[in-house]
Amino acid sequence: MKRVVITGMGIWSCLGTSIEEVKDSLYNGKSGIGIEEDRLKYGYQSALTGIVKKPVLKGLIDRHLRRGLSEEAEYAFMASSEAFRMAGIDESYLDANEVGCIFGNDSSAKPVIEAAKIMDEKHDTELLGQSFIFQAMNSTVTMNLSTIFRLKGANFTISAACASGSHSIGLAYMLIRNGLQDVVLCGGAQETNLYSMASFDALGAFSKNMDNPAEASRPFDRDRDGLVPSGGAAALILEDYDHAIARGATIIAEVTGYGFSSNGTSVISQPSDEGCLRAMKRAMEDAGVTASDIDYINAHATSTKQGDMFEAMAIDKLFRGEHALVSSTKSMTGHECWMAGASEVVYSIIMMQNNFVAPNINLKNRDEFSEHLNLAAETVETEINTVLSNSFGFGGTNSALVIKKFA
């Protein structure tokens, strides 16, 4: 089996639009959550959301290509461009080599709804033009990135709810480890427009703490009242170790384990501590590590009552008495949904590179299930060599990744 390393990464999120900006936000425990009043006018119960800057693509992409980009594909282009730059991969390399593209994405609501509105009013498909179809498909991110960058390798989308971004890294890792690809651009993307989360808001799963947006997302806290939706995009360049060395790339981390499971329950939105546990154990077995080897756990914890409870139970079963620090960066970002599993790997690598664990902000009163976890309520300056990153989604899809400092 081949070793799989990471040679580039990029991020576009509510914490910042560059690795350096995001590093500062993570270290300082800065929240990226705010209020979008239009959500209340539209009929949402909560106006809370991650505030993500809109990219300016004019001058970066030909206007004919820009027309096919959905909101989340725009974010993904910006994150991917940063990742390619960090990896030292330019147009000439892409033209001469096969590079794959695997992204997690599970919706593209805005173009679907806007196209439906035109049809309801005008009853004429010719008025839709030729861009809606390329924006509306779940594969909008991979089809657009593979076209813009003229990629020649694997090209598909992972649709697995809030584990989509993590599974995309896991699948890229498996392709490279088995010698099927040398380089894969992978990650996750999430739209933030008000159309995208209305059906999620209908579940009553969002925090109503609109008086204090920065304190609304409070994973593992006894008084948490729901998650905050967010989005953007994260991209990573995964590469065969020998290939990276041969081209003189700088290696920033190594993917050593991937674990997955399904809960096997009869309720589509019901979390499971056993499902979480199976994914974590499988990732650690794949990486050849034990609980004592893990320095930091980036928890999936979204700030919902049941989700955080079941994950805390799973982590406690595996890590009680061990030294691993735990935090949920969703306390700062909100729940980045389809991109979260990828962005949280980027956040974890940033911490690994800079020797700190970002805080689980807004943790004032632990609940009974997290009392034995080694939660980092404040920034902790410490060396991190091995990370476990958890991602769990509706329908019982679970993913866990082990990332190691390259040595």
Tokens 């190594």: give the residue.
Answer: 254
Q: Give catalytic status of residue 300 as yes or no.
A: yes
Of the residues 101, 162, 276, 337, which is catalytic?
162
Cβ(127)–Cβ(72) under 8 Å?
A: no
Radius of gyration of the chain (CA): 20
Name the DSSP letter for residue 16.
B
Q: Are strands 33-35 and 48-50 parallel, antiparallel or unpaired?
A: antiparallel
Cα–Cα distances in angstroms (integers) from residue 6 to residues 182, 210, 244, 361, 375, in the given order: 12, 39, 9, 28, 27
Tell me how crowded residue 176 is: count the other CB atoms within 10 A of its CB: 26
Cα 225 from chain centroid (whole Å) = 22
Strand partners, 286: none
The rounded distance, in Å, linking the Cα atoms of 126 and 124 is: 5
With CA atoms as reference, report the closest residue to 295 among 193, 389, 176.
Answer: 389
The rounded distance, in Å, linking the Cα atoms of 396 and 161 is: 9
| Residues whose CB falls within 8 Å of the CB of residue 212, separated by 6 or more in sequence, listed in order | none
Cβ(360)–Cβ(328) under 8 Å?
A: yes
Cα 203 from chain centroid (whole Å) = 22
The rounded distance, in Å, linking the Cα atoms of 133 and 112 is: 8
The rounded distance, in Å, linking the Cα atoms of 182 and 377 is: 40
Structure tokens at 107: 């919706």
The helix or strand, by DSSP H or E, that contains position 10, with its residue range, turns out to be: strand 4-12
Strand partners, 10: 235
The rounded distance, in Å, linking the Cα atoms of 262 and 278 is: 9
Question: What's the number of CA atoms in the CB half-sphere (13 Å) around residue 264?
Answer: 9
Our CA angle for 239, 244, 245, nearest 5°, is 150
Of the residues 14, 186, 276, 300, which is catalytic?
300
Active site residues: 162, 300, 335
